[in-house]
Structure formats: C-alpha cells, structure tokens
Structure 1
Amino acid sequence: MTPRLSLTARLTILFSLSSAAVLLGLGVLIWLAIDDHFADEDYAVLADNVRLIEKIAADGPAASLPQRLGPALEHHAGFVAEVRGADGKRLYATRDFDFRPALAAAAQAPAGNDAFAWEQQGQTYRGLRARLAHAGAQSGGQPGALRVLVGMDTALHDHFLHAFRNTLAFYGTLAALASGLLGWWAARRGLSPLRTMASRARAVTAHKLDARMPVETVPVEMADLAANLNAMLERLQRDFARLSEFSSDLAHELRTPITNLMTQTQVVLSQPRDAARYRDVLSSNMEELQRLSRMVSDMLYLAKTEHGITLPSAEPIEVADEVGALFDFYDALAEDKGVRLALRGRGRITGDRLMLRRALSNLLSNALRHTPAGKGIVVEITPGADAVQVVVENEGETIRPELLPALFDRFFRADKSRARPESDGAGLGLGLAITQAIVTAHGGAIGVSSEAGKTRFTLTFPA
C-alpha cells in the first residue's frame, strides 16, 4: 500500500510545484521576449545594411560596385551579403561563404515576407532579402535592378541566451526550493490548530467527555469545524449521561422483581409447605414474571420504534373511535376511582391502529393513575388542514416545570424513592417514552404542559 502523505507534505509539494511552474513560465516568457528583442535588433541592422548597399549602388556605376561594397561591408563581424544584377550575375559576395542554404531558405519564405532564418554548419543565421533599383545610367551603365541577400549569425545572442537559460534554471530551482521550505513552514504553522484539536480529541474518553475544541483561538476556516465538534461532544456527553442513568434505572427496576422472586422462593423452600402455600408463592412469582416480561417487551418495542421502524400498516383511522374503545376498556377502573371520562371532537389520521391505540392507552393509564377522585379526564380532538391534534388533559397535582422535559425519558420518576410494583409497564417509566416513539414514527410530535392543577399531553399527527 502506498503510504499516505500528511496534509503538510501535500501543501508543501503543491506550493513548491506551483512556485516552480510560475517561475518556469516567467523564465520562458522572459527568454522569448529577449529572443524576440534580439531578432528585432538583427533585422534592424540588416535593414540598415540593405540601405547602405542601396546608397553605394546609387553613387556609382555597376562595374565598380564590388570594389565599393567590399570596404563598406567586410568589417562587420558575422555579417554576410550577396548582390546580384538583374541578369542573375553575382556582383558581390562575402568571401568563403556558401550562400546556397541561404538562397534555399529565402526561396521557402512566404510571399511578401523578406525576413527568414536558416541553419548552416551548426550556426543559426537571420537573413533579409531585397530588390533594389539601380540607376546605372547616370554613371554610364545600364539601369536595372539589384537582388540583395544579407545575413547575420546569431552566435553572440545564442551565447547570451544559453548563459541566461542556465542562470535562470539555477535561480529558478533555488527559488522553488526556498518556496517549498517557506510553504512547509507556513503549512505547518497554519495547521497547528488542527494538531491542537487532534490532541484534545485524543484526550476524549468515556470518562472524560468534557473536553472542548478552542473555537476562539483557531482560524475562521476551522472555527466552524471546531464548533461542530464541540456540538458533537456535547451530544455525546448528554447521551452518555442518559445511557448511564438508563442503565442504572434498568438495573434498579430489574433488581426488585428478581429479588422478590428469589426471596419468596428461598423462603418457601426453607421447609416443607402445604399445597396451598406453594400455589400462593407460585401465583406471586407469576405476577413478578409477568412484570418482567412486560418490561422486556416494552424495551424491545421501544428500541425498534426509536430506530426508525416502519409502520406495520397504514390505514385511515378515526381517532375518536379508538378513544371511545379505550374509554369502554377503562370505564370500570375510572368508575371505581371516581374519575369522569369525556371525549370532544373527531378527526382522521393515517397510521397503524394498534400503535395508535397503545399510545393513547399509555396516556389514559397515566392520567387515571394521577387523577384524584371526583376529577375528570378530557380527550379533545381538533382536526386541521395540515395536522390533527389530540389533547389528553387530566386534573391533578401540577408537575413542576423543571420536570416536564424529562417526562419522556425512560424510567423517569419524579420521586425516586417511590416503588410501584403494582404498576404496569406504562407505570415503570416506559409508557411515555413509548408514546413519544410511536408519535414520532407517525411523523408527528408530542408535548406536555402542566399548570393550575391541569396536565395536558398534546399529540400532533399529520392530517
């Protein structure tokens, strides 16, 4: 497996390559600009020499043109020239120079472009061709035209460009290395907040979730990341605390019936008993086992519901019919406790009938348990364009405001010292948690308020 590079190394390499590319592009641009400048200078010198040849040719007869051109042109180092008459006869040419490559290059030059270049014996030449009028009649000769070809080798300029290229390569490499070193320093310094955040993240354990990232001291680009990490740690700390509390409550709830089972069984086995005593103990054990079974079933149901379980079925449900059926079920208990049951309004939702009935049953059971004799429980259904509200209100003791947000927590009890072995699963602190999970599974929301001796649970379902 190819080893992964650190972010500092990646930024350093990227910065070095970018600097090298910029320097290389700048060097090539300068090199081309200098080369173009030298070409312009060479062609300007060649044009001056063409004008000089034209002036010399105009000052005398064609017969003496070679004698007059020699002294004027031969003192230019690297300069070559060839002059031919209108009939193609060579009138002047630089000694010991082969003009055939130059003539071939001039013939291949585009029409209308008198400038050209060619290679000869490993040397580059720049050339210029021209056609000059020769007024030879003034000196007793015949008028005609001169064909001029002049050239200049670029050895001096090539030597300068070669030295410039080597110098540019040396300083470009040195500058790229210096840029890479500077980039490494800048990247390492710029990423130091990330290393600080990583060190703090390494310090986070199950027993130390209070560590937070330094939002104020990190750059703006990392502040959002630090804030999100802090929010994540806050959620983890809160959920871990809830999980720890839930584990403790679960152990407490399970310990009571198991202890009862063990105690009663040990007592009855300590000495022989009659059949009636054994039946009484077995009946008592059956109640405890049923309680444990309901608790385990409720926990499994709650776990499935909270983990995004889909509704077993979805059908139109008349909420008032379900509440009426539950009133029939709880009517005897309500009459025995002296509690009045009332239903107001109607509304239809789409959902699972059994899940909805269980949620409403949990609320009614909870209301009956906390409603004093002579008071009432009212279920009010309010249909709307987008949602249906179901309110379960009971009269009784007002719940303190600081306890309201925790009512839907598992195994929550306002009075931790109270044990309720006679309660069903809803009374064990799971009923409201299950109700909330069911409402959420239907895409709704649940809320609670308590004031002036009345507690209201409000269920909102999509219409």
Structure 2
Amino acid sequence: MGFATVLEQRAHLLGDLDRRVGDAAERSRSAVPAGAAAGTGPGSLDERGQPTGTITARLDGGGAVLTAELVTRSGAPRELGPAQRSALAGAAPDGTLHTRSVPGLGTYRFTALDGGGRPVLTALPMDDVQDTIRGLVVVEGVVAAAGLTVVGCVCAVVVRRQLRPLERVAAVAAEVSRSPLGPGGVTGPPRVPEQDADPGSEAGQVGAALNRLIDHAQTSRAERLRGEEEARRGEERVRRFLADASHELRTPLASIAGFAELMNRGAGRVDAALAWRRVSAESARMTGLVEDLLLLARLDEGRPWPSAEVDLAALVAEAVRDARAAGEEHTWQLALPLDSPAVVAGDEAGLRQAVSRLLANARAHTPAGTTVVATVEATGTSWVIRVRDDGPGIPPALLPRVFEPFSRADPSRSRVSPGHGGSGLGLAVAAAITTAHQGRIHAESTPGRTEFTVELPAAHPAPPVEPPPSPGPADHTPAPHPGEEATVHPG
C-alpha cells in the first residue's frame, strides 16, 4: 500500500509539474518579440509571471543553448554558465518533456517549443516534487515498519495462543511415550482434554487423532496382556491336567501292581479271587479314564459327529432309569412334555453320554436321599434339558471352572458316597459333547439347589411350552396321562 501510494503521489506531482512547465513554456514562446535576432538574449523575452527558479533559454536549430537565464528570488535574471547550459542542450523543440540535472541548481523538468523559427526552452525545478516524494517515502516506511511490528506482535500472540492446545497435545503425547508398556504399566494413560480434541480446528484434529491412537494402543495392549494371561492360564491348565491325569492313572496302576505282587507271592485261593476282582475293577476304572481322555481329545480336534434325529424325551427317560438303577439311595424324578416330540439332530450315543454324566455327577456328589429332577422343555427353536438336585451345592469359587477337566468341589460335594467318586472328567465330557452339537451348557448353584442346563437346537422348531411344575413326591404322583408330566422314582 505504501509503494502504491508513493507511485500514485509521484505521478500526480509530476503531472502537475509537467502542466506548469508547459504553461511556462507557452508564456516564454509568446514573449519572443517579433523579428528578434538569433543572438538576442532571453532578457528580451518579457519573462513576467515566471516563478522563482525558472530557467529560460534560446536554442539554435541544432538544439544548442545560445543563452540561458535563471529567475532569482529578487526577480533579476542570472546568466547560466557553460556547464549549466550544456546540461540543457540537445532538446528538440517539439514540446517533449525532459528531466536533467543542472550543475549547481539541481534537477529540472523542461521542454522546448518552436517560437516562429526561434526555439525557446523553459525549465522548472523538481526539488519540491522530490522533497515531497522523499518525505512521503520516509513517512510510509516508518508507518509500514510500525504497522508490521504491531501486526507481528499481534500475530505472535495469536499464534502462540492458538498453539497452546497443540502444546498440551504434545505434552500428553510425551507423557504417553514415557508410560511403561509392560504388565505393570499404567492402566489408564492420559488423554487429550475434550476442549483440545475439537475436530473443528487443526489442533483439535491432532488431539482427536492422538486420542484415537491412545485408544488403539490401549486396546492392543489390553488384548496382548489378555492373550498373555490366557496363555499363562492355558499352561497352568495343561500342567494341572497332566498332574491330575498322572495322579488318576497312578492310583489304579498302584492297585494293580500291588495285587499282582500279592498273587506272585503265592496268596491263598480266597486272596487270589479278591485280587483278581480288584485288578479287574481298577483296570475298568483306568480304562474309563483313558476313554474319557481320548474322547476329550477327539472333541477338541473338532471331528464331525454322526447326525440323526434323536428323541430327547426317550433318551432322558432311559438315562434317568439307568441312574435310578445305579443310585437307589436317591430320589429320581422325570418331567417331560408328552404332547410334542422333543427331536434334535445329533449323535444319540453322545447325547445319552452327556445326560448320563450330568445324572452321575448329581449321584456322586450329593448325599443319600437327595432328590434329582430331570426336565425337558421347549423354547421354540431349541430344547432344554435341566438336571436339578437339592444337594449342598457347588462352591462359588469352583462354579466358573466346573466344566474344566479334573475340576472337583470342596468336601461339600466331593465323593459323598464311597465308590461313587469320579475322575473329574464327567462334566468336562458333557460340556464338550454339548458344544460339539452346537449347544450350550450352563450351571447355577446355591445351597440346596444346583441346576445344570443343556440347550440344543431343535431339529423341528416347536412352540414354547410352559415349564412344568416341580413333580411331587413319588408316593403322591398318579400315573401320567397325555400332556401331563411323567415322574420316575425309586421302586
């Protein structure tokens, strides 16, 4: 703006000076007396009205200055010297404006006109114009410098204020970079404040991006720690599994080795018969344990099961009948929806084994006289098998891992009846078989009520059936009719 102002002001002042030079030249030409000789001096031109500092001169045909005079403050003209006249020479009398520096006088603006064969030259000083432009340049420079200084200070303050959120973002990033990444690291790393994470500004976009990065890093760290924890737990489960399996196998092997040693020492006929019975029992126990381990291994490999339609009502009824025969000291009850077939797709032998394991678990870990109820219910798209007993219950600490291999309860549910104890694989096998059939198994337990729930997808969706009421005591249950519950009990 200052540069444009100086140019505009200079053009305006030069235009005004050129106009005045032209006017002065016209006056000089009109003042040339008619018939004046070529050698006549400019004093004979009648220079009235010319301002102070005006130079008037007579030229010859070649543009050489013949005579030249300067109008002084006193009004008396002063003759110019040869060097000064030489500075004005060479101007054509065509009205063209020229700028020359006259020695001892300064810069002049002049023009030459033809005065009837007698060219005249008129020049006016440019000192006023140059002084004005010079002063304007100084003023503009000072104003521009002051303005730029003020603007620079304001911009510095504004930019620093605008960068404060970015500085806080950088501080958060530095603090996050110093946070440890190990298991003992900070669980909640610092985050950029909400006011510094506004996506409407550039700094806010950086803050929001940093928050997303922190969230991603925190999620990845949590997943890594969770994976490490799961791997550690998996290793512990494997070690515990191997230890439990070794313990379970060592017990029957020790019994077999002991009775074999007894027979090798030549025991009597009675002792030999007893030894063979014990060897057979321990061999059967060890065989069952090995078969359970092989079954779990096969289920973990995800091998396909044979699939056919299975009637859960008949399957559960047979399993309860077998459980009653094995545990006559318990009260066994069965509740079935007899108005619709409970059909699922799967392996009948595997599902029977899963239900039998649940019933055997209730028999082995509850005292004599406990009531065990098996129920089959419909939920529309699935069939639910419930095995409930009124025994002492499962300890809360054991309930989350009750379906893990070799999981055993505390003395409240561990092998209440002699000879009824298992290897700790029954519930694990039941859970594995249920999962292999795309089902779910769940356990709930409180003192006096333990319930295992197995949910299997129905082969043919059936309308939901209201859960039947708990069956009454065996001696008060009449014979079932179609659409009623069936109760199986001892005797």
Normalization by structure 1: what TM-score? 0.50
Select 2:321's aligned residue among 328, 339, 358. Answer: 328
Q: For 1:396-439, what per-residue CA distance to the aligned partner results, in whole angstroms no more than 9, with x for missing partners?
A: 11222222112111111113896799657x82100000000011
- What residue number does 2:405 align with? 410
CA distance in 2, matches of 1:254, 1:309: 26
- Partner of 1:296 in structure 2? 290
Q: Which residue in the other structure is 2:353 paired with?
A: 358
CA distance in 1, matches of 2:177, 2:457: 47
Match of 1:310 among 294, 304, 311: 304
Matched-pair contact (CA < 8 Å) for 1:212–1:233:
no
Match of 2:337, as an amino acid? Answer: G
Residue 437 to residue 350, structure 1, CA distance change in 2 (3 Å) = same
Q: Does 1:224 align with 2:222?
A: no
Shift of 1:308: 1.8
1:345 to 325, 337, 357: 337
Q: Deviations over 1:54-85 (max 9, x none)?
A: xxxxxxxxxxxxxxxxxxxxxxxxxxxxxxxx
In the TM superposition, 1:167-182 aligns within 5 A as none
Superposed displacement of residue 258, structure 1: 1.7
Tell me, which stretches of 5 or more residues in structure 1 are unaligned? 1-188, 201-209
Query: 3-state DSSP class of the match of 1:401?
Result: coil
Which residue identity does 1:318 align to in structure 2?
D
Answer with 401-410 or 428-437: which moved more.
Answer: 401-410
Give the superposition deviation at 1:259: 1.8
Give the distance between the partners of 2:399 and 2:313, measured in 1 at CA. 27
Query: CA 1:437 to 1:275, structure 2 compared with 1: closer, same or farther past 3 Å?
Result: same
Aligned equivalents of 1:400, 1:291: Cα separation in 2: 27
Structure 2 residue aligned with 1:440, among 435, 438, 453? Answer: 435
Is contact 2:364-2:417 (8 Å) kept?
Answer: no
Pairwise mapping of residues 3-402 of structure 1 onto structure 2 (< 5 A)? 216=189, 220=214, 221-270=216-265, 272-311=266-305, 313-334=306-327, 336-345=328-337, 347-402=342-397
Displacement, 1:359? 0.2
Task: Name the one with the larger helix percent.
Answer: 1
1:285 match: secondary structure: helix
Describe the shift of the 1:213–1:238 C-alpha distance in structure 2 as closer, same or farther (beyond 3 A). farther
> Aligned-residue CA RMSD in angstroms?
3.3
1:345-370 per-residue CA deviation (whole Å, 9 max, x = no partner) reads 25221111111000001011112223
CA displacement at 1:305 relative to structure 2 = 0.9
Query: In the aligned structure 2, how far is the partner of 1:454 from the partner of 1:224?
Result: 40
The Cα offsets for residues 434-456 of structure 1, whole Å up to 9 and x where unpaired, read as 00001111111111112251211
Q: Which residue pairs with 1:460 in the alignment?
A: 455
1:158-205 alpha-carbon deviations (Å, 9 max, x no partner): xxxxxxxxxxxxxxxxxxxxxxxxxxxxxxx99x979x86xx6xxxxx
297-306 vs 321-330, which moves further: 321-330
Please tell me whether the aligned partners of residues 373 and 388 of structure 2 are also in contact (alpha carbons under 8 angstroms).
Answer: yes
Task: Please say if residues 376 and 385 of structure 2, whose CA atoms lie closer than 8 Å, have aligned partners that are also in contact.
Answer: yes
**Counterparts of 1:332 and 1:368 in 2: how far apart (Å)?**
11
Distance 1:247 1:254 in 2: 10
Secondary structure of 2:252's counterpart equals helix
1:216: Cα distance to partner?
3.5
Shift of 1:215: 7.7
Q: Quick one: structure 1 residues 216 and 266, their matched pair in 2 at CA, closer, same or farther if it must change by over 3 Å?
A: farther
Q: What percentage of residue pairs aligned between the two structures are identical?
A: 28
1:15-59 superposed Cα distances (whole Å, 9 cap, x missing partner): xxxxxxxxxxxxxxxxxxxxxxxxxxxxxxxxxxxxxxxxxxxxx
Secondary structure of the corresponding residue to residue 317 of structure 1: strand
1:234-262 Cα offsets, whole Å, 9 max, x none, are 21112122222222212221221122222
User: Structure 2 stretches of 5 or more lacking a match?
Assistant: 1-172, 191-209, 459-491
SS at match of 1:429: coil
Identify if the C-alpha distance between structure 1 residues 308 and 193 changes in structure 2 by more than 3 Å, giving closer, same or farther.
Answer: farther
Kindly name which structure, 1 or 2, has the bigger radius of gyration based on alpha carbons. 2
Higher RCO by CA contacts (8 Å cutoff, separation 6 or greater): 1
- CA 1:404/1:419 → structure 2, altered by over 3 Å: closer, same or farther? closer
Aligned to 1:427, the other structure's residue is in SS state: coil
Contact 2:320–2:374 (CA under 8 A) maintained in structure 1: no
Query: Is contact 1:348–1:383 with CA below 8 Å preserved after alignment?
Result: no
Give 3-state SS (helix, strand or coil) of 1:320's partner: helix
Secondary structure in structure 1 of the residue aligned to 2:374? strand
Counterpart amino acid of residue 434 in structure 1? V
Separation in structure 2 between the aligned mates of residue 329 and residue 259 of structure 1, nearest angstrom: 31
SS in structure 2 at match of 1:456: strand
Distance (Å, rounded) in 1 between the aligned partners of 2:224 and 2:188: 10
Aligned length: 260
Cα distance, 1:264 vs. partner? 2.4
Question: How many angstroms apart in 1 are the aligned matches of 2:220 and 2:330?
Answer: 59
CA contact (8 A) 2:358 2:427 kept: yes
8 Å Cα contact 2:365-2:415 kept in structure 1: no
Is contact 1:394-1:455 (8 Å) kept? yes
- Deviation per CA, 1:256-279, whole angstroms, max 9, x where unpaired? 112222222233334x23344323
- Which amino acid in 1 is paired with 2:402? L
